[in-house]
Amino acid sequence: MLPKSERKTPLPAEPGRERDPQAVREMFSEIAPRYDLLNRVLSAGVDQSWRRAAVREALAHGPRRVLDLACGTGDLTLLLKQSAPHAEVVGGDFAPPMLERARAKARRAGLEVRFQEADALNLGFPDGHFDAVTIAFGFRNFADYERALAELYRVLRPGGRLCILEFPPPPKSGLGVLYRFYFTRILPFVGGLISGNAAAYRYLPASVERFPDPQTLARMMQQAGFRVRHKLFTGGIAALHVGEK
C-alpha cells in the first residue's frame, strides 16, 4: 500500500471530488479500523444520544422491516435491532471494510442482522419493501441527493418513515461559531492523528459546509413526496429529518 502522501487516487477533500463515489468509498474503507473510536472521541459521546432519538422516531410505528443505509460499522443498525428484536433489520453500506466490522460487532452482541453492500442510488430491493429507513451521517456523502430520495421513497411502503440524521452547516452564531472552529481546525488534526488519514477529516467539515441547510433538505424531501418535519440538536449542530411516505 502506498503511503498516504503518495496515493494515486485523490481523496474527496480535494476540489471537485466532494461526492465522488469511488473516492468516498476508498476514504471510508481506509478509516474503518478507527472509525468507532473517532466517533466517540470527536463527539464526546453526544452522537449516541442523537442516534437514540433517530431510533425512537424510526421505530415509533412498530416496523417489521427496517433498512439502515450508509450503516458504517453498524452502530445505529445494532441499536435498531436491540430496540426492536422482532423486526428484520438490514444494514447497507458501500464500503466492504465497514461492513466487515459491522458483522463482527453483531456477532459479538449476539444479534441477527443482515449486512450487505448497497448503493443508495440503486437499491436492490422491491418497491415498498421497508417500513422504515434510517441514515445517520451518511446522506451528505451521496452523489445525487434527489436520486437518493427518489430511491428511498420507492423502497418504503405507504405510511413508511425515513429518518435522516445529519450535520447541517453549523449556525453562524452561538454554539455554531465554536463548533465551526472545532470542526475545521481541531477535528482534522485529531482525526488525522488517530486514523493516519488527515484528508478524510478535512473532507468531513468540507462536506458539512456544502450540505443543504435543514430547511432546504426538508424542501427536497417534500419534493420527493414525503411529509416532513425536522428537529435540531445541540444548538443546531445536528438535525433529524423525519419523512412520511
Q: Is 218 annotated as a binding residue?
A: no
Say if residues 240 and 233 touch (Cβ distance below 8 Å): yes
Q: Is 120 annotated as a binding residue?
A: yes
Residue 2 has pLDDT above 70, yes or no: no
119 vs 27: which has the higher pLDDT? 119
pLDDT tens string 189-232: 887 787 777 787 788 888 889 999 999 999 999 999 999 999 99
pLDDT tens string 187-198: 888 877 877 777
- For 94-112, what is the mean pLDDT? 96
Residue 44 has pLDDT above 80, yes or no: no
Q: Is 20 annotated as a binding residue?
A: no
Look at residues 50, 199, 29 and name the one whose alpha carbon lies nearest to residue 101: 29
Question: Cell 472545532, residue?
Answer: 182
Residue 41 has pLDDT above 70, yes or no: no
Q: What is the residue extent of each domain of the chain?
A: 16-244
Could you tell me if residue 188 is left (phi over 0), alpha (psi between -120 and 50 degrees) or otherwise beta?
alpha
pLDDT tens string 134-151: 999 999 999 999 999 999
Q: What is the pTM of this model?
A: 0.87
Quote the CA–CA distance of 170 and 177 in Å, as a whole number. Answer: 7
Q: Is 13 annotated as a binding residue?
A: no
95 vs 41: which has the higher pLDDT? 95
* Architecture (CATH level 2) of domain 16-244: 3-Layer(aba) Sandwich (3.40)
Say if residues 164 and 231 touch (Cβ distance below 8 Å): no
Degrees, nearest 5: CA angle 216-221-226 = 145
Length of the chain: 245
